Amino acid sequence: MTTSTARVLGLLEILQAGGVRTVPELAARLGVDERTVRRYAGHLVELGVPVESLRGRHGGYRIAPGHRMPPLMLTEEEALAVLVGLGTGEEAPPYATAAASAAAKLRRVLPRPLRKRVDALRETADFTAVPRPAALPEAGVLLGLAEAVRERRPVRFAYRDREGRGSERTVLPYGLVAHRERWYVTGADRAAGGVRVFRADRVTGLGVLPGTFAPPPDFDPVATVLDRLARAPWTHDVALRVQGSVDRVRRHFPADLAALAAEGPEGGGPGEHPEGGGGPGWVRVRVRAERLEWIPAVLAALDCPFTVERPAALRDLVAALGRRLAQGAGEPAAGPGEPEGTGSQPDGTGPPERP
């Protein structure tokens, strides 16, 4: 898009906000001279936009009263794709203002029913990280869940678990969370008798039920989802003890991968320190992982004393990494023509003198 085209569209955006805009005001906002503003207004008229020119002391330009831009004809899937993209931009400081502006423009021209559903998703979803497109649920399901969360309406749906078993669920949806490559809905499952977390891409046949509910006042959807993910069954159940603070350990083990519990020194109770000790306590770490290969490097980066309680395979990987690190930190091999050894003088006092 050329600079002049962008400024013509910028003029249209200003005029669509309503009211009469003077030529000096428009020139200042667009960063051009007054003659260029008049030329841009002429371009809009040529494109069929009813821009009116008002003369006099308080004259300027405006969009003809009663004119509305035509609805933007997006499918639910298209609107959802744009929304997820804007959600990414709003989390990045350099683009937050532009993303919010683009979202406002989108809302103004969407058909009212679709705008209502999109607004529900924007108001209810918590983004920890934007999901990859391949993991998105059906647009109708996701937008329907968002409306149910906002309006506090119970829902019924068919659900397929990780083993492929199907079931019918009746849920009071408390929150909707986008994390890594998935969308999750969390709330009270009436049949199970407690709070559950469901992957939205495994939900089908969503129906909204009559009635309303009040979620617990202190319920945190993000914390609930991350905690359940950390406790979900994985291939490996890893138990560690790390000497250090919970905050330090958490920086290396994300909340969706590891559950942490503070202990006192040498296995004492939470927060306990022996008299006169005052040393750092220990943190018990429980990790669910599909692979173990990444954990030794994380433990090395922690730079804290630690103990691997299980599994034995992880102890082997840590030992192997230690051997590789020790080997890499050893003395370099002697080059051609150089004597074997450390490079010190015979008495070990320092490097040999230059000849």
Same domain, 95 and 180: yes
Burial of 240 (0-12, 13-18, 19+ CB in 10 A): buried
Is the pLDDT confidence value at 225 over 60?
A: yes
pLDDT of res. 127: 67
Instruction: Classify residue 200 by its DSSP letter.
Output: G
Tell me, what's the pLDDT at 352? 37
Tell me which of 200, 228, 256 is where a domain ends: 228
Could you tell me if 218 and 109 lie in one domain?
yes
pLDDT, averaged across the chain? 78
- Do the domain assignments include residue 350? no
Asked whether residue 93 falls in the same domain as residue 222, the answer is yes
Which residues lie below 8 Å from residue 115, measured CB to CB, with a gap of 6+? 107
Residue 134 lies in a domain: yes
- The pLDDT confidence band at residue 9, using thresholds 50, 70 and 90, is confident
Pairing of strands 166-179, 125-127: parallel
Q: Are 114 and 203 in a shared domain?
A: yes
| pLDDT tens track for 149-167 | 999 999 999 999 877 889 9
The pLDDT of residue 1: 46
192 inside domain: yes
Residues 179 and 245 in one domain: no
Q: What is the pLDDT of residue 46?
A: 86
Task: Say whether both 244 and 324 belong to one domain.
Answer: yes
* DSSP bridge pairs for 203: 159
Kindly state whether residue 338 falls inside one of the protein's structural domains: no
Nearest in space to 54 (alpha carbons), one of 90, 20, 89: 20
Lowest mean pLDDT among 19-28, 63-72, 305-314, 332-341: 332-341
State pLDDT tens for residues 253-302. Answer: 877 678 888 886 554 444 433 333 445 789 999 887 778 999 999 999 99
pLDDT on residue 277 = 41
Residue 313's pLDDT band (cuts 50, 70, 90): very high
Last residue in a domain, options 228, 254, 269: 228
Q: How confident is the model at residue 350, as a pLDDT? A: 38
Query: What does the DSSP 8-state code read for residue 267?
Result: G
Give me the mean pLDDT over the 85-110 stretch.
64
Are residues 224 and 238 both part of a single domain? no
Does residue 344 belong to any structural domain of this protein?
no
Q: Taking 50 as the threshold, does the pLDDT of residue 348 lie above it? A: no
pTM over 0.75: no
Structure-block tokens of residue 337: 């023509």
pLDDT for res 214: 93
Is 69 within the bounds of a domain? Answer: no
Local confidence band at 345 (pLDDT 50, 70, 90 cut-offs): very low
Read off the pLDDT of each residue in 309-334 and give the average, rounded to a whole number.
86
Between residues 238 and 341, which one has the greater pLDDT? Answer: 238
Q: Which domain holds residue 308?
A: 233-328
Same domain, 99 and 222: yes
One domain, residues 158 and 275: no
Does residue 44 belong to any structural domain of this protein?
Answer: yes
Give the total number of structural domains in the chain: 3
Of the candidates 294, 298, 263, the one whose C-alpha atom is nearest the C-alpha of residue 281 is 263
Do residues 208 and 238 both lie within one domain?
A: no
Domain boundary among 228, 255, 278: 228
Question: Dihedrals φ, ψ of 345, to 5°?
Answer: -70, 165
Same domain, 120 and 143: yes
- Judge if 237 and 212 occupy the same domain: no
Is 355 a member of any domain? no
CB–CB of 302/249 below 8 Å? yes
Compute the distance between CA of residue 271 and CA of residue 281 in angstroms, rounded to an integer.
Answer: 7
